[in-house]
């Protein structure tokens, strides 16, 4: 091997790996991980609000005095909330 060829081999192949320069991603902050965490947290807050509404609706259904039609509407709302939260049936 000539001297210039050996220099090229040392610089490109040995120091930068077999792919050469610029073939690997640079380390740094990954935006997609941050966005995923943000979406998960936002979804968790939304589900917590729905769980609170469901708890209050169930409490009212069990203990409040109301007419049959209002009671049926409240039961329908409880069923919709449970389905949205995937909690099961009444």
Write the pLDDT tens digit of every residue in 1-48: 566 666 656 655 555 555 555 555 566 655 555 556 666 677 778 888
- Please report which residue ranges of the chain form alpha helices under DSSP H: 3-8, 16, 31-63, 68-85
**pTM attached to this predicted model:** 0.52
Q: How confident is the model at residue 47, as a pLDDT?
A: 85
According to DSSP, residue 18 is labeled T
pLDDT digits (tens, 9 = 90+) for 35-80: 566 666 777 788 888 899 999 999 999 999 999 999 999 999 999 9
């Amino acid at each position: 091997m000539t001297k210039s060829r050996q220099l090229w081999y040392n610089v490109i192949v040995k120091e930068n790996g077999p792919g050469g320069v610029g073939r690997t991603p640079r380390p740094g902050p990954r935006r997609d991980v941050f966005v995923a965490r943000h979406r998960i947290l936002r979804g968790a807050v939304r589900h917590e609000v729905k769980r609170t509404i469901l708890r209050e609706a169930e409490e009212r259904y069990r203990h409040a005095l109301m007419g049959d039609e209002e009671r049926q509407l409240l039961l329908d709302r409880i069923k919709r909330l449970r389905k949205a939260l995937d909690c099961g049936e009444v």
